[in-house]
Structure 1
Amino acid sequence: MTTSGIPTTMRAAVLHGPGQLSLAERPVPEPGPGEVLVRVEAVGTCGSDVHYYRHGRIGDFVVREPLVLGHEAAGTVVACGPGADPRRMGRRVSIEPGTPCGSCGECRPGRYNLCPDMRFLATPPVDGAFCEYLAVHQDFAHEVPDCLTIEDAALLEPLSVAVWACRKARVAPGDRVLITGAGPIGLVTAQTARAFGAREVMVTDVLPHRLAMARATGATALDVSATPLRDAGYTPTVLLECSGVPAVSGEAIRTVGRAGRVVLVGMGGDEIPLPLSRVQNHELELTGTFRYAHTWPTATALVASGAVRLDSLVSHGYGLAEAESALTVATHDATAVKAVIYPQR
């Protein structure tokens, strides 16, 4: 690869165990066949990063050896490996964090998000993007137009979750959509549902600042600590459950109208109380989502057109040496929504 101006070592924020994060010096990765080397310029912090930091595991994924967190990343291509397109040099890219095998029974039909051999950034044992340089396959380093900020480019990843959820729900003009949970995913899902043509979007939560952000997207905001959802008189055609709270899921499903669609997006408890009579008597469709597939072009177009605004999600910014603060800010600042790490600072 061309290495002019690229150092041989870089800084990385490394998780050694629950609550144990420190800066380390690591070799700059060498891009392999078909890969590009990206100078990482912005990384959003996700709830999964916080969970790994606090608990050292998510389900069956356990941090057994030092791990670099972060998977919502963007930057600039600074080198190309063998077989990679040299025209990618100098291009700003948003990184799709999962690299599938490309040949299994899920990848061949296009369901690569379900690839059993997926290598996903910041999912043990695969290191993530809280570092200065990252080698990724060129097919998953998506170029972004100049009208997108580097924060926009990084947050195309959570926006892709919203795009995939709306596709799974077949959100279309005329739909009445209910979104439970006004975290970052719920907020971008509200904008995406509107962009897909929903005539009405309601977002529920209990935090005033997040409900205010939902209203700013054009959604109706419901504080369920004051008015229970069952008393709101809202009958959606689509439920996009983004809270991950089992009790919330069960209550929300009970409001969905006949032939409605339910998509479980938020990750939380292992089981939910399923109101089976509602599902059967109203012929509800219920499905889950797992990440996304083929979403980056749509996500990029939504932001470039102005249909979705991602800048309002960024509440805090930190340098790489402050990565621990980015992961803990929500515990001491109730207004925190999305912290972004800038590894070059």
Structure 2
Amino acid sequence: MASTHPEINRALVLHPGGAFNYQDIPIPTIESDRDVLVRIVATGLCGSDIHYWQHGKLGRYEVTQPLILGHESSGVVVATGSNADGLKPGDHVAVEPGISCNVCSYCRSGRYNLCRSMRFAATPPVDGTLCTFYRVPAQCCFKLPENISLRDGALVEPLAVAVHACRLGGDLQDRAVVIFGAGPVGLLCCAVAAAFGASKVVAVDVVEERLSVARQYGATHTCRMQDVEGAESMKNLVGLDADTGADVVLDASGAQPCLTCGIEVLAPGGTFVQVGLGKPAMEFPIGMVCDKEIVFKGSFRYGPGDYKLAIGLLGSKRVDVDGLVTHTFTFSKAQEAFQNVVSRNGIKSVIFGPE
């Protein structure tokens, strides 16, 4: 199904060494009956974007050629193939930025986030979404209800990360959940845990300003790491059972002290979910893991159903993200957005545009 659109695809391009420039690149064409062409309207900035800009690499992925960043995006459908799951020009959508192979054992078993052939936006050498037009398969486009703005549609991606992490934590109904790290993903984990029925949601961070807003996103208690001397002190401060502790711990910080304290504060038989990434290797209290017989899980992006559930939580207002986006930038000021994130101003920065 064809649609008319301006014949310019403006992109913000990162070059090896950290320099940005704007370029006009070819507009993607509809190549499959399931292809969807989206005009990008809003893009949130993620820590991985900042890593590639400042350090040129993240894990095993390195910026060795020009790369378009951005993967937390929403937009408007401008063209589709003939078999695009009912999508049509004008639909507002959240874009899932990973395209899996759909045929490997991981994809076929419902764990496509582990697909070794995954093409994930803004992960070298795959270009991201900070451009005018972006093409994805229909299964990567999720229609937004009318009560979800395109700005909030850009938050579906990090919200899906939080949904996936909380689902890994198991049944959270009437459970005590401790979440380390009160950045965007940590705050969204608080909101999802509360929506999933947790009776106690404890947000832990070192920055008072972040904790001051955590209660808006579902936290029943907050704790500054520097105000406690260890797990027992933390339990006492936030009212956790002294003999057991938290039923579930989510670490969205990736910091060594949080990993250690999180395992200490976890109840025997509890579940620990590692959400945030820090140093590639850290000290690990394996003796305590065995002694408590806890379940330790890694969390990687999101999987089947996570995007749909994230949109459902937003649409029903069971998760309210008002106030999470504290800074917005036009596309021409995109580099200022990157610097704003580095300066740790506010919570979430979103770039609107191009156009």
TM-score range, shorter chain: over 0.9
Give the deviation of 1:229 after TM superposition: 4.5
Question: What does 1:246-265 correspond to in 2, within 5 Å?
Answer: 246-265=256-275
Give the deviation of 1:134 after TM superposition: 0.5
Identity %: 38
In 1, the alpha carbon distance for the partners of 2:309 and 2:85 equals: 23
Map Cα deviations across residues 94-149 of structure 1 (whole Å, 9 max, x no partner): 00110100000100011100000000000111100111111110111111100101
Does the aligned pair in 2 maintain the 1:178–1:203 contact within 8 Å?
Answer: yes
Give the deviation of 1:171 after TM superposition: 3.6
Does the aligned pair in 1 maintain the 2:80–2:87 contact within 8 Å?
Answer: no
- Secondary structure class of the residue paired with 1:258: strand
Partner of 2:228: 227
In 2, the alpha carbon distance for the partners of 1:45 and 1:87 equals: 26
In 1, the alpha carbon distance for the partners of 2:230 and 2:134 equals: 44
Rate the CA distance shift 1:58–1:82 in 2: closer, same or farther, 3 A: same
In 1, the alpha carbon distance for the partners of 2:74 and 2:168 equals: 26
Does the aligned pair in 1 maintain the 2:94–2:143 contact within 8 Å?
Answer: yes
Q: Which stretches in structure 2 are left out of the alignment for 5+ residues?
A: none
Partner of 2:188: 188
Partner of 2:323: 312
Output the amino acid matched with 1:117.
Answer: S
Partner of 2:284: 274
Partner of 2:151: 151
In 2, the alpha carbon distance for the partners of 1:323 and 1:250 equals: 37
Give the deviation of 1:344 after TM superposition: 3.1
Give the deviation of 1:227 after TM superposition: 2.4
More displaced 10-residue stretch of structure 1: 130-139 or 268-277: 268-277
**RMSD over aligned Cα atoms:** 1.4
Q: 1:328 aligns with which of 325, 339, 344?
A: 339
Rate the CA distance shift 1:218–1:229 in 2: closer, same or farther, 3 A: farther
- Secondary structure class of the residue paired with 1:106: helix
Output the amino acid matched with 2:326.
Answer: S
Does the aligned pair in 2 maintain the 1:171–1:193 contact within 8 Å?
Answer: no
Rate the CA distance shift 1:65–1:227 in 2: closer, same or farther, 3 A: same
Q: 1:342 aligns with which of 336, 341, 352?
A: 352
Does the aligned pair in 2 maintain the 1:32–1:82 contact within 8 Å?
Answer: no
More displaced 10-residue stretch of structure 1: 176-185 or 215-224: 215-224
- Secondary structure class of the residue paired with 1:254: helix
Rate the CA distance shift 1:205–1:307 in 2: closer, same or farther, 3 A: same
Output the amino acid matched with 1:328.
Answer: Q
Does the aligned pair in 2 maintain the 1:30–1:81 contact within 8 Å?
Answer: no
TM-score of the superposed pair, with normalisation by structure 2:
0.93
In 2, the alpha carbon distance for the partners of 1:79 and 1:13 equals: 22
Question: What does 1:208-247 correspond to in 2, within 5 Å?
Answer: 208-219=208-219, 220-230=221-231, 231-233=233-235, 234=240, 235-247=245-257
Partner of 2:16: 17
Question: What does 1:26-45 correspond to in 2, within 5 Å?
Answer: 26-33=25-32, 34-45=34-45
Does the aligned pair in 1 maintain the 2:3–2:89 contact within 8 Å?
Answer: no
In 1, the alpha carbon distance for the partners of 2:254 and 2:88 equals: 39
Map Cα deviations across residues 183-235 of structure 1 (whole Å, 9 max, x no partner): 10000000000111110010111112110111222411101122244211242
Give the deviation of 1:3 after TM superposition: 4.1
Partner of 1:167: 167
In 2, the alpha carbon distance for the partners of 1:229 and 1:77 equals: 51
Q: Does 1:103 align with 2:103?
A: yes
In 1, the alpha carbon distance for the partners of 2:160 and 2:341 equals: 23
In 2, the alpha carbon distance for the partners of 1:309 and 1:274 equals: 35
Give the deviation of 1:82 after TM superposition: 5.1
More displaced 10-residue stretch of structure 1: 198-207 or 242-251: 242-251
Q: Which stretches in structure 1 are left out of the alignment for 5+ residues?
A: none
Give the deviation of 1:84 after TM superposition: 3.2
Rate the CA distance shift 1:331–1:109 in 2: closer, same or farther, 3 A: closer
Rate the CA distance shift 1:40–1:143 in 2: closer, same or farther, 3 A: same
TM-score of the superposed pair, with normalisation by structure 1:
0.96
- Report the count of equivalent residues: 343
- Secondary structure class of the residue paired with 1:274: coil
Give the deviation of 1:152 after TM superposition: 1.5
Does the aligned pair in 1 maintain the 2:97–2:140 contact within 8 Å?
Answer: yes
Q: Does 1:303 align with 2:314?
A: yes
Output the amino acid matched with 1:306.
Answer: K
- Secondary structure class of the residue paired with 1:248: helix
